[in-house]
């Protein structure tokens, strides 16, 4: 089956040069402007907009979504050669050697992201209307969410690294604002204690700082690109002068403008940026704490869209990485490490949101691994990204629905047996769960299996890589099955372990409809848009995501994996079955007793509960030395710099003290002093002369 997917995506076209946008695509700026305008209105009007703030809040992304669909249809009906369009919006920065235009790149890759962001975003906005109904700051919440959507769309539509960075920082800001959304004590409606508020704001700062480390990589990469190539545009802007400095980065790279060493350096810096934004090893520690934000935020920003920006960056920079196999290998290694890391952490977490966050980390690890595999993987990274956007957002919203029912409880040890009380949440969550573990014919099966298969492909000059990456990806699939099943069974199956005051109930329709929509996406997306069967009745014009992405990421290179694809599929499914079975006998079967307080557990369990001690390592390596370094600097500043300044001042005061002693105020004494002085002078003069 899966070979079909691979072979179906055989080369159909080479990378396409952009052309000046026409039709709906030329209005792409409105995709960004609508949510941005809504955010501005909601923020500027303040409390006056409290009563109706959620209306523009969800209508703006919905309108963007409609526009996105129109643009997508336009590109789909156009020839492949016309699917990369560029909207030029004028000169942005014109300073000496840097001549940067403000433009949007509307191509299959960015439009895929636009659809994902606006569609999933709209559903999450609608869900939030009900989820945040009791919050006194719901209007502000929607303003930040819209700001996020606008920034994220800027990120994916940008035609240059600098504009991408602008959106990159925008989503970072929105993420920071939303993680720390509950950063003050609230005692009516949605209650927040002071200690909790403090914890939330610390979590938002942690995310912000970890992201800044990644941004450093982005800035260095941009600096190197500008120094080497004199431009930051991805591709040459159509209709502009085509001198050497005007050619886009990728055109110059294709023309041999970069040495391999320089491309490797830039690639590694971009990887650092991606690690920060996408919570990849070693900058992954912020994602678990980011769950302090409201659940819709976790679904939209920390599962479906923002955290995948790193993958987008790598795939977008594909021509650079094609030139630098070592940088690509580093991407794959980071992905493989994070994949296992997230999966192991996910197996031990009892907090439902943190378990999902660990799962997100692990799934993005898959995407990074795929992106690091090069032409055999770029398309699958994006395909898995979109599929993951559906099922993970669905599961996060499901978790929010459960928390809503259980009085904001997140400890899965206090759930159990919820399937009977929350039929819709249970059923929609089940689709997400089956989709992520790769249950046959659901989305995960069509999006993750090709990555595992591609990981087993031996590329030129590789020795151990296919085996290591392949086995890690395969093992990750088994672990995914275990931890997701554990999460599902602990929440919905088994005996009830509720707090006495909990009265679980199904959520309002405004929350269940988005859940249903996302469940449909989780179930059907893979079959409809990824799987490309050879059945005669299957319409040939029907879009296939991997083929659709070809103009941007290039065709999927066909290579034979080192093991036959059937073996890979069967072994993966067997591992998944083992994972589910293990989770069932430990957490799901009716006879099992899940203790309400976590048992001590093995050293590995304890380590996984503590995020494999990443915080401890960070503390030991960075935070504590950093604290001492700043303390030493503060001390030096006080002792040396301030000491010198204050010493001079004290000296002046002391001299003044001595000088004012003789000032007694007696005129005759002054006269006597003068007379005496004259006498002394005369004596001296006489003495010198004689």
Partner 1 sequence: MSLMNYLLLSAVLFSVGATTVLVRRNAIIAFMGIEMMLNATNLALVTFARINGNLHGQVLAFFVMVVAAAEVVVGLAIIVAIYRTRRSASVDDVNLLKDVRDPA
**Interacting residues with partner 1 (CB under 8 A):** 660-661, 663-668, 671-672, 675
Please say which residue, 536 or 663, places its beta carbon nearer to partner 1: 663
Instruction: State the nearest-atom distance from the C-beta of 672 to partner 1, in Å.
Output: 5
Please say which residue, 97 or 667, places its beta carbon nearer to partner 1: 667
Instruction: State the nearest-atom distance from the C-beta of 177 to partner 1, in Å.
Output: 53
Please say which residue, 51 or 661, places its beta carbon nearer to partner 1: 661
Please say which residue, 188 or 661, places its beta carbon nearer to partner 1: 661
Angstrom distance (rounded) from CA 161 to CA 431: 37
Q: Taking Cα atoms as reference points, which of 34, 158, 139, 37 lies closest to residue 87?
A: 158
Q: And the tokens for 486?
A: 């554990």
549-582 exposure pattern, b = at least 16 Cβ within 10 A, e = fewer: bbbbbbbbbebebebebeebbebbbebbeebbeb
Instruction: State the nearest-atom distance from the C-beta of 40 to partner 1, in Å.
Output: 58
Residue 678: phi, psi to the nearest 5?
A: -60, -45
Angstrom distance (rounded) from CA 481 to CA 439: 9
Please say which residue, 534 or 658, places its beta carbon nearer to partner 1: 658
Please say which residue, 73 or 675, places its beta carbon nearer to partner 1: 675
Instruction: State the nearest-atom distance from the C-beta of 655 to partner 1, in Å.
Output: 14
Angstrom distance (rounded) from CA 658 to CA 655: 5
Instruction: State the nearest-atom distance from the C-beta of 663 to partner 1, in Å.
Output: 4
Q: How many helices (DSSP H) and strands (DSSP E) are in the chain?
A: 28, 3
Instruction: State the nearest-atom distance from the C-beta of 665 to partner 1, in Å.
Output: 3
Q: What is the 3-state secondary structure (H, E, C) of 25-75?
A: HHHCHHHHHHHHHHHHHHHHHHHHHCCCCHHHHHHHHHHHHHHHHHHHHHH
Cα of first residue to Cα of last residue in the chain, in angstroms, is: 121
Task: Please count the CA atoms within 13 angstroms of the CA of 565 that sit on its side-chain side.
Answer: 16
CA angle 203, 205, 207 (to 5 degrees): 70
Instruction: State the nearest-atom distance from the C-beta of 649 to partner 1, in Å.
Output: 20
| Greatest pairwise CA separation for the chain in angstroms | 129
Instruction: State the nearest-atom distance from the C-beta of 689 to partner 1, in Å.
Output: 17
Angstrom distance (rounded) from CA 581 to CA 437: 13
Please say which residue, 578 or 674, places its beta carbon nearer to partner 1: 674
Write down the H helix ranges in 562-666: 565-583, 603-609, 614-618, 624-636, 642-660
- By CB neighbour count within 10 A (0-12 exposed, 13-18 middle, 19+ buried), where does 12 fall? exposed
Any idea how long the chain is? Answer: 690
Please say which residue, 188 or 660, places its beta carbon nearer to partner 1: 660
Q: Is 537 left (phi over 0), alpha (psi -120 to 50) or beta?
A: alpha
Instruction: State the nearest-atom distance from the C-beta of 657 to partner 1, in Å.
Output: 9
Instruction: State the nearest-atom distance from the C-beta of 653 to partner 1, in Å.
Output: 13
Q: Taking Cα atoms as reference points, which of 252, 261, 218 lies closest to residue 233?
A: 252
Please say which residue, 630 or 664, places its beta carbon nearer to partner 1: 664
Instruction: State the nearest-atom distance from the C-beta of 683 to partner 1, in Å.
Output: 16
Angstrom distance (rounded) from CA 152 to CA 173: 11
Q: Give the torsion through C-alpha atoms of 624, 629, 632, 638, to 10 deg.
A: -120
Angstrom distance (rounded) from CA 679 to CA 402: 101
Please say which residue, 91 or 669, places its beta carbon nearer to partner 1: 669
Please say which residue, 96 or 665, places its beta carbon nearer to partner 1: 665
Please say which residue, 539 or 656, places its beta carbon nearer to partner 1: 656
Please say which residue, 566 or 678, places its beta carbon nearer to partner 1: 678
Give, for 86, the enclosing helix (H) or strand (E). strand 85-95
Instruction: State the nearest-atom distance from the C-beta of 671 to partner 1, in Å.
Output: 5
Instruction: State the nearest-atom distance from the C-beta of 686 to partner 1, in Å.
Output: 15
């Amino acid at each position: 089956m899966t070979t079909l997917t691979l072979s179906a995506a055989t080369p159909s076209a080479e990378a396409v040069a952009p052309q000046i946008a026409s039709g709906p695509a030329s209005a792409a700026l409105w995709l960004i402007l609508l949510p941005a305008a809504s955010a501005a209105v909601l923020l500027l009007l303040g409390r006056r907009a409290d009563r109706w703030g959620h209306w523009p809040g969800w209508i703006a992304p919905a309108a963007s979504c409609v526009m996105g669909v129109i643009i997508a249809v336009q590109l789909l009906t156009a020839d492949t050669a016309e699917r990369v369009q560029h909207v030029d919006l004028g000169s942005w920065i014109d300073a000496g050697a840097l001549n940067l235009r403000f433009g949007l790149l509307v191509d299959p890759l960015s439009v895929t992201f636009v659809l994902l962001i606006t569609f999933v975003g709209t559903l999450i906005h609608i869900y939030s209307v009900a989820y945040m109904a009791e919050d006194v700051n719901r209007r502000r919440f929607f303003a930040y969410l819209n700001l996020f959507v606008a920034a994220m769309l800027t990120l994916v539509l940008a035609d240059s690294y600098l504009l991408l960075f602008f959106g990159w920082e925008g989503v970072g800001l929105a993420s920071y604002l939303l993680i720390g959304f509950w950063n003050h004590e609230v005692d009516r409606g949605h209650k927040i204690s002071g200690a909790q508020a403090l914890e939330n704001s610390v979590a938002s700062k942690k995310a912000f700082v970890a992201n800044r480390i990644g941004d450093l990589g982005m800035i260095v990469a941009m600096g190197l690109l500008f120094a080497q190539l004199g431009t930051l545009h991805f591709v040459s802007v159509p209709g502009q002068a085509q001198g050497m400095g005007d050619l886009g980065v990728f055109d110059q790279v294709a023309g041999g403008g970069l040495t391999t060493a320089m491309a490797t350096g830039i690639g590694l810096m971009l990887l650092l940026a991606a690690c920060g934004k996408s919570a990849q090893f070693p900058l992954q520690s912020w994602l678990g704490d980011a769950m302090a934000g409201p659940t819709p935020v976790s679904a939209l920003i920390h599962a479906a869209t923002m955290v995948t920006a790193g993958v987008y960056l790598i795939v977008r920079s594909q021509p650079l990485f094609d030139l630098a196999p070592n940088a690509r290998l580093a991407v794959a290694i980071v992905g493989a490490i994070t994949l296992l890391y997230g999966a192991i952490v996910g197996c031990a977490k009892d907090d439902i949101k943190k378990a999902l966050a660990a799962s997100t980390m692990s799934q993005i690890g898959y995407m990074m691994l795929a992106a690091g595999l090069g032409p055999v993987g770029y398309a699958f990274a994006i395909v898995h990204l979109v599929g993951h956007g559906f099922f993970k957002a669905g599961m996060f919203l499901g978790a929010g629905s459960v928390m809503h029912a259980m009085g904001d409880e997140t400890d899965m040890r206090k759930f159990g047996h919820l399937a009977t009380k929350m039929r819709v949440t249970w059923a929609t969550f089940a689709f997400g769960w089956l989709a992520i573990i790769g249950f046959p014919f659901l989305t995960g099966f069509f999006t993750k299996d090709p990555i595992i298969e591609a990981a087993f492909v031996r590329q030129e000059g590789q020795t151990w890589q296919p085996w290591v990456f392949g086995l890690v990806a395969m093992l990750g699939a088994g672990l995914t099955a275990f931890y997701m099943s554990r999460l599902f069974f602990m929440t919905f199956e088994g005996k009830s372990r509720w707090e006495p005051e909990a009265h679980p109930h199904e959520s309002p329709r405004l929350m269940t409809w988005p859940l249903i929509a996302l469940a449909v996406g989780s179930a059907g997306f893979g079959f409809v848009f990824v799987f490309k069967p050879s059945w005669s009745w299957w319409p040939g014009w029907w879009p296939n995501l991997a083929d659709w992405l070809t103009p941007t990421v290039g065709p999927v290179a066909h290579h034979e994996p080192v093991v036959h694809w059937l073996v890979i599929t069967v072994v993966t499914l067997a591992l998944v079955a083992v994972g589910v079975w293990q989770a069932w006998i430990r957490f799901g079967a009716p006879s099992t007793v899940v203790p309400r307080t976590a048992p001590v557990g093995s050293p590995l369990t304890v380590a996984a509960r503590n995020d494999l001690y990443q915080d401890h390592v960070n503390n030991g390596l960075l935070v504590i030395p950093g604290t001492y370094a700043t303390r030493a600097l503060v001390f030096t500043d006080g002792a040396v710099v301030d000491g010198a300044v204050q010493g001079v001042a004290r000296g002046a005061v002391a001299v003044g003290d001595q000088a004012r002693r003789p000032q007694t105020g007696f005129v005759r004494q002054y006269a006597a002093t003068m007379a005496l002085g004259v006498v002394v002078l005369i004596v001296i003069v006489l003495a010198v002369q004689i």
